[in-house]
Chains A and B, each alone.
Chain A
Amino acid sequence: SAVISQKPSRDICQRGTSLTIQCQVDSQVTMMFWYRQQPGQSLTLIATANQGSEATYESGFVIDKFPISRPNLTFSTLTVSNMSPEDSSIYLCSATGQTTNEKLFFGSGTQLSVL
């Protein structure tokens, strides 16, 4: 399995500001993903973080709102831009690849509250 670390673990932000979440994997992985989990809800895929190129976004999510970077095989960032209270959620980084036996593992998440 892979150990996936996320920073920060939680944050309280003001409306209109932006927050960047970092995700570090302890081994090189093929694919990294960002999911959102709204309060008491299930997980929804935001985007696939592609190394060295633009992320692939799912329907309902756009780059201007959720810019993503993946400079190498072990690190990615997700920015939540121009936040509103509706962005209050848990944001989860996940990864899969040969080192995880192609299974998807998750980080512990970033709990974001927007006032």
Chain B
Amino acid sequence: GENVEQHPSTLSVQEGDSAVIKCTYSDSASNYFPWYKQELGKGPQLIIDIRSNVGEKKDQRIAVTLNKTAKHFSLHITETQPEDSAVYFCAADSGGSQGNLIFGKGTKLSVKP
């Protein structure tokens, strides 16, 4: 089955710097790769996603890149702000079902003002 590895587990940056979180997956049949942001006491919030027919997607300060050959995808946050501080999870679909997601272990991002 699918396995998703996520690095780093913690990341601390200065406000205004960029943050990059990387994930690798094992199942070449996976086609859908969402990223979620989880703040303390809340459920995961979908922030961006990418499908396998696209190499890069951007939404304001957030971008995701996908390398299907190497089976890795990354989240890039530019001009970080203190409100970006949260735990970020990457995920990959399992068995072709976009509801059955395999999640990485999460990255705790701290943005220092």
Is B89 a contact partner of A42 (Cβ separation < 8 A)? yes
Query: In the docked arrangement, what's the CA distance between A94 and B42, Å?
Result: 13
Looking at chain A, what size class is its interface with the partner chain? 20 to 34
Stretch from A61-69, A73-81, A100-108 that touches the partner: A100-108
Q: Helix, strand, loop or mixed for chain B's interface?
A: strand
Tell me the nearest residue of chain A to B94, going by C-beta. Answer: A45
Which interface class (under 10, 10 to 19, 20 to 34, 35 or more) fits B?
Answer: 10 to 19
How far, in whole Å, are A67 and B106 apart by their CA atoms in the complex?
28
Which one of B97, B99, B100 has the highest number of Cβ atoms from chain A below 10 Å of its Cβ? Answer: B99
**B43, A109: Cβ atoms closer than 8 Å:** yes
Bound complex: CA of A41 vs CA of B49, how far in Å? 21
Binding site for A on B (CB under 8 A): 34, 36, 41-46, 49, 89, 97-101, 103-106
